[in-house]
Amino acid sequence: MAATTLYQSVGTLQSCRNNGNSGLCPDYGHVSFRSVSKGFKVDVGLLRGGSFCSRKRSTCVIQASASQATVFDEASAPSSATTSDSNKKTSEAALILIRHGESMWNEKNLFTGCVDVPLTTKGVEEAVEAGKRISNIPVDMIYTSALIRAQMTAMLAMTQHRRKKVPTIIHEESEQAGAWSQIFSEDTNMQCIPVVTAWQLNERMYGELQGLNKQETADKYGSEQVHEWRRSYDIPPPNGESLEMCAERAVAYFTEHIEPQLASGKNIMIAAHGNSLRSIIMYLDKLTSQEVISLELATGIPMLYIFKEGRFIRRGSPPAPTEATVYAYTKGFAFS
């Protein structure tokens, strides 16, 4: 019954999208479902807000403020498995994706790309809010880009986490850096979460547009040309990267380094950027090059996937932490 209710909600979200090029969906009520075989229960209060839904699939992308949330795309119906079946261990892991909070160049409407700028006060608040949303989801490893705005977002988010483990950046840029950052207490090490930084997860390099004002650039080159540079899949800005080029490095890194960690049962958080995360979502959701160019990710809104039996299942965005919404993980994502 609960799973049926949830699928009805998703169907409503899809139908509101089919009436035009874009749309905001109305309010929804409370949905609850349980997967008995995993002992997994989620109670979600669905909030007023907008979701951008593709015409061809049930994918919903957050285009909302930090107080809004989407429904899950797929629910696990109650299982009729026997007690012995329910006790079988299956490989299941959480993957959390977070686009960094607002940066100081986002605020100034400048092309940022690979220029390394920090968060604004609003960006800090968005990162903290993201942390509250994922505070009940276990995190075993964190991957970020090499840029400070993504690293700040990851660190600030983890200050809100229930486990209170300390994220510690792994320094492997030199043998000396690795030796000097070594932790010698086993107990302390057990209370840390390793953070791996990788340039492959950086925002796409905007070439000669970096540092330019977006509106002034549109006035100079024409809005159609700037839109092509920003939103086409395979056309790069002058001396920069296209989304296709960004996807080549980001997805290759994901499949080589991150996916094996998920397959081993580790719960992973990635804090990165609009374009590198769009590239990874394109891979996870099997989007076409035409579908991905319309994909928009809001700053500071986490997205949750479940990796199970070699498949990625989108769970949407964990709801904002309010008295009206409860996001509780029991057996299956139990805290150690």
Residues classed as catalytic: 100, 203
Asked whether residue 171 is marked as a ligand-binding residue, the answer is no
Residue type at position 46: L
In angstroms, rounded to a whole number, what is the distance separating the alpha carbons of residues 24 and 12?
Answer: 11
Burial of 148 (0-12, 13-18, 19+ CB in 10 A): middle
190 is in an annotated binding site: no
Q: Is 210 left (phi over 0), alpha (psi -120 to 50) or beta?
A: beta
Q: Is 314 annotated as a binding residue?
A: no
The verdict on whether residue 101 carries a ligand-binding annotation is: yes
The C-alpha atoms of residue 69 and residue 61 are separated, in whole angstroms, by 10
Q: Is 104 annotated as a binding residue?
A: yes
Please, what's the b/e burial string for 8-20 (b: 16 or more CB within 10 A of its CB; e: otherwise)? ebbeebbebbeee
Residue 99 labeled ligand binder: yes
Q: Is 100 labeled as ligand-binding?
A: yes
Query: Is 149 annotated among the ligand-binding residues?
Result: yes
End-to-end CA distance of the chain: 32
106 is in an annotated binding site: yes
According to the annotation, is 329 in a ligand binding site?
A: no
CB 215 within 8 Å of CB 169: no
Confirm or deny that 203 is annotated as ligand binding. Answer: yes
Provide the angle, in degrees to the nearest 10, between the axes of the packed helices 148-158 and 121-133: 50
Structure tokens that stand for 319 in this block: 């709801």
Which residues does the annotation place in the binding site?
A: 99-106, 112-113, 149, 203-206, 214, 230-231, 274-275
For the annotated binding site for substrate, the residues are: 99-106, 112-113, 149, 203-206, 214, 230-231, 274-275
